[in-house]
Amino acid sequence: MRCCHICKLPGRVMGIRVLRFSLVVILVLLLVAGALTALLPSVKEDKMLMLRREIKSQGKSTMDSFTLIMQTYNRTDLLLKLLNHYQAVPNLHKVIVVWNNIGEKAPDELWNSLGPHPIPVIFKQQTANRMRNRLQVFPELETSAVLMVDDDTLISTPDLAFAFSVWQQFPDQIVGFVPRKHVSTSSGIYSYGGFEMQAPGSGNGDQYSMVLIGASFFNSKYLEFFQRQPAAVHALIDDTQNCDDIAMNFIIAKHIGKTSGIFVKPVNMDNLEKETNSGYSGMWHRAEHALQRSYCINKLVNIYGSMPLKYSNIMISQFGFPYANYKRKI
């Protein structure tokens, strides 16, 4: 065996074996590293996705999504049916259920047992059954837009998608599906009503001066505005268990100096109150409901010292939905 210079090194037989072993180890390590590198991007991607989701959910006041606030009392069957619908609406960020069933546990367990759900739903147990509970500044609310819906109202997804896009163009107004008006009389006393009443100076057509919040989009900052109102306003709503929506229209009209809301004509919106097994049929069935609302208007004018509501006759529909809705009927 001819020696090479390695042979001349001390412990050279051992040296070759060590070298070969080292080379093999290095090769194996390289292979493992290569395999890890191949795996690594997907792990990283997931992490990025999670990071992005966190950033997005921590991003306050985004305009691109909205929070559904639904207050509920004694109609849990309707609530759950509606939640199954609303949880799947595009651009929905989160649902806040204002649980007005005092003493009764919110159905968190039931809800969780039927997961997973597309978006988070928070059940907020209340301490007293108050109409204005839904107008709190909820810490869980992170979006610029609130979608407020009564717990018996089913609004189709196309209607919601369109109305939200309209709200994004008019973010300082209530964009919703239920228009109402006030009328004044020669005595200066106001009355509350819908289409059956005629606003002064309407000429052709009708007018509205309020958009009810129970089926609408509005800017979440108005919840803070509401909390800052005079105690008399809160007391009025507590006394009547009514008129929180009228108050909101007053507040917004006063703030922006123009009509408080924009009416979007719903294509497919239903009231499910007849479908409840609870036997409970909603506040507006109370005998004094309509009279209360006229009463509230006059009280609010008194509190604020003026009538800030302004009339509008703008009705917005979605161009081409339903199909060819811009064509004239023959």
Query: For binding to a second copy (CB under 8 A), which residues are involved?
Result: 158, 161-162, 165-166, 169, 179, 195, 202-208, 263, 265-266, 269, 312-321, 323-328
> What single letter denotes the amino acid at residue 242?
N
**Active-site residue among 150, 151, 159, 245?**
245
> Quick one: 166 or 303, whose CB is closer to a second copy?
166
Nearest approach in angstroms of CB 66 to a second copy is: 17
Smallest distance from the beta carbon of 188 to a second copy, in angstroms?
25
Alpha-helix runs per DSSP H in 87-230 = 108-113, 157-169, 221-227
d(CA 166, CA 317): 10
Among residues 308, 317, 305, 292, the alpha carbon closest in space to that of 209 is found at 308
Give me the least distance between CB of 252 and a second copy, in Å please.
17
- Measured from the CB atom, the residue of 184 and 317 that comes closer to a second copy is 317
Q: How far is the CB of 277 from a second copy (least distance, A)?
A: 26
**Residue 236 phi, psi (nearest 5):** -60, -45
Shortest CB 208 distance to a second copy, Å: 6
Of residues 175 and 248, the one with the C-beta less far from a second copy: 175
What is the C-alpha to C-alpha distance for residues 5 and 229, in angstroms, rounded to an integer? 95
User: Considering the complex, what minimum distance in angstroms separates the CB of residue 79 from a second copy?
Assistant: 24
Report the DSSP beta bridge partners of residue 179: 211
Inter-residue contact 210 to 175 (CB < 8 Å): no
Taking the least distance from each CB to a second copy, the nearer of 129 and 313 is 313
Treating both helix axes as pointing N-terminal to C-terminal, what angle do 289-304 and 231-240 enclose, rounded to 10 degrees?
170
Please choose, from the candidates 168, 202, 156, 178, the residue with its C-alpha nearest in 3D space to the C-alpha of residue 264.
Answer: 178
In angstroms, the CA 110 to CA 107 distance is: 5
The C-alpha torsion from 241 through 246 and 247 to 249, rounded to 10°, is 150
Spatial contact of 123 and 188, defined as CB atoms under 8 Å apart? no
Which lies closer to a second copy via its Cβ, residue 281 or residue 313? 313
**Beta-carbon count within 10 A of 227 CB:** 12
* CB nearer to a second copy: pick between 93 and 180: 180
Cα angle 226-231-236, degrees, rounded to a multiple of 5: 85
Q: Distance between CA atoms of 229 and 214, rounded to whole angstroms?
A: 20
Is 159 a known active-site residue?
no
Mind telling me the catalytic residues? 245
